Amino acid sequence: MTATTAPAKKATYAPLELFDTDRLLDEDERDIAATVRKFVDTQLKPNVEQWFESATLPKELGKEFGKLGVLGMHLEGYGCAGTNAVSYGLACMELEAGDSGFRSFVSVQGSLSMFSIHRYGSEEQKNEWLPRLATGDAIGCFGLTEPDFGSNPAGMRTRARRDGSDWVLNGTKMWITNGNLADVATVWAQTDDGIRGFLVPTDTPGFTANEIHRKLSLRASVTSELVLDNVRLPASAQLPLAEGLSAPLSCLNEARFGIVFGSLGAARDSLETAIAYAQSREVFDRPLSSFQLSQEKLANMTVELGKGMLLAIHLGRIKDAEGVRPEQVSLGKLNNVREALAIARECRTLLGGSGITLEYSPLRHANNLESVLTYEGTSEMHLLSIGKALTGQAAFR
């Protein structure tokens, strides 16, 4: 028998190295993750503290994301990269390691605005908007949620009525990412034939975007109220293949998938920050990292991060193979965001007083994840989605 030589032992490992998750990725997927991480580290992280503190996100970033190739990267044709789902997920993870606002921008652009056009639009609509959205020369947003209808979008009050060959839209949408940056909005409205989708250029008379200020979360992101006051659109503005509530919900499922990976980026960055701090911070003449309670926290957080990563990759492989079911995405979004938020909060405790400053990322990530926990379906709704899958009974009402 031939003896097997064990690999040389390292002094320390990064959290996900203990799970050896890179082994589960192919070379292209690793290259995409590395490219996005380098962009985040060099172009975004040096500015994120300023953007978060001033509650701004430059519209010019859209073109930078376009050059990076992450806008609609999982879509085919029309200038889109056509990558697999796992590659898109990894890009989301690296973006959210910078800030949830970056991943939100890319997710709304690609998985909501562009996906709605790609899946439900006419060929003319696709050719008009998708190439420009892919390069970031145009920005999109997605208007579904209303002030009184978040978890129950079927109750929306926004109305589209026929007037000759035109459509006239009236209503209000709320909590719309990219709203004040957008050149086109995908707006969902009630019609005499049920819920339908419309592409609304934001310079259309009667369309107004009002930025929401005084946010405690997602400050490096633009969040808006959309007001439609007798917005007149030609018949060609309707998304011809979008019929009923299933259309916007399928778009949300695409965005939720990105969150399954993205939330882990915030958790990983928080954990890496806490480990580095604990190794350099001395308490009672020893490194903070040498105490048993510190190592317990770091070990428990690493276990949850790794489990979340294994779940994300598994769901991505399912999505690439035969398509992932909505309740499976609910499993991933519920678990990974919940655990990511717990990790960010716990990392803040290891930083002590320093953890409340913008110099360190965990509390910023925790604040952002409070929004991620709510949008694209609250934890309660995902629990009920999973419960329905298990029992066959809908408990939503």
The residue from 211, 296, 376, 380 that is catalytic is: 376
In sequence order, the 6+-apart residues with CB closer than 8 A to the CB of 334 are 379, 382, 383, 386
Q: How far apart are CA 350 and CA 378, in angstroms?
A: 28
Q: Which residues pair with 185 in a beta bridge?
A: 141, 200
- Checking DSSP bridges between strand 140-143 and strand 184-191, what pairing results, if any? parallel
Cα distances (angstroms) measured from residue 31 to each of 14, 36, 91: 18, 9, 10
Whether 376 is catalytic: yes
Tokens encoding 109: 């652009």
Q: How far apart are CA 382 and CA 57, in angstroms?
A: 30
Q: How far apart are CA 135 and CA 304, in angstroms?
A: 36
Query: DSSP of 109-122, one letter per residue?
Result: IIIIIIHHHHHH--
Cβ count near 392 (within 10 Å):
7
Residue showing tokens 């030609």: 234
Q: How far apart are CA 287 and CA 276, in angstroms?
A: 11
Q: How far apart are CA 70 and CA 84, in angstroms?
A: 12
Active site residues: 376
